[in-house]
């Protein structure tokens, strides 16, 4: 397996959209992996919902964002295999939207956006898909502000 110091990686999610039935109050996962499969243990990982910090993994510690306290699960045991997927407990309708995963190793930062949107059906159905979204400078500043407030 390659070492975590490698700067040759990309973030990937499943290529095709996935339908997932999510009931209010249950746990759901947002998949994200490093490619090639290298360890992310010594990398910095940031997850955002829109511009709100969901969690930060840095120096082998997880800091939860204010809005998501008590609901975040980043499975640190899977980081060794490059799995930086995010789990959120207690699904709420307000959880749908765009999620951003940023992974930094040394001077290289990779970013990917995954969206959760409604689909039709009797239950809450969400579509998980990779999107090519460019974040504005104003949105990036809001993201950085929310990182500074994380853990408070």
Can you give the pTM of this predicted structure? 0.83
Please indicate, yes or no, if residue 99 is contained in any of the structural domains.
yes
CA angle 91, 44, 114 (to 5 degrees): 40
Please indicate, yes or no, if residue 121 is contained in any of the structural domains.
yes
Please indicate, yes or no, if residue 132 is contained in any of the structural domains.
yes
Counted domains in the chain: 1
pLDDT digits (tens, 9 = 90+) for 58-97: 999 999 998 899 999 898 889 999 999 999 998 888 888 8
88: domain CATH number? 2.60.40.10
Range of the domain at 67: 10-149
Please indicate, yes or no, if residue 34 is contained in any of the structural domains.
yes
Please indicate, yes or no, if residue 2 is contained in any of the structural domains.
no
User: What backbone phi and psi angles, to 5 degrees, belong to 81?
Assistant: -100, 15
């Amino acid at each position: 397996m390659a070492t975590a110091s490698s700067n040759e990686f990309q973030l990937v999610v499943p290529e095709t959209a996935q339908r997932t039935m999510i009931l209010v109050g249950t746990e759901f996962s947002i998949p994200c992996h490093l490619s090639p499969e290298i360890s992310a243990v010594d990398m910095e990982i940031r997850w955002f919902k829109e511009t709100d910090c969901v969690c930060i993994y840095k120096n082998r510690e997880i800091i939860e964002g204010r809005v998501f306290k008590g609901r975040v699960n980043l499975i640190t045991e899977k980081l060794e295999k490059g799995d930086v997927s995010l789990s959120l407990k207690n699904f709420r309708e307000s959880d749908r939207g765009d999620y951003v995963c940023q992974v930094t190793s040394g001077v290289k930062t990779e970013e990917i956006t995954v969206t959760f949107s409604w689909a039709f059906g009797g239950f809450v159905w969400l579509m998980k898909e990779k999107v090519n979204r460019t974040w504005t400078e104003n949105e990036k500043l809001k993201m950085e502000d929310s990182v500074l407030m994380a853990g408070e």
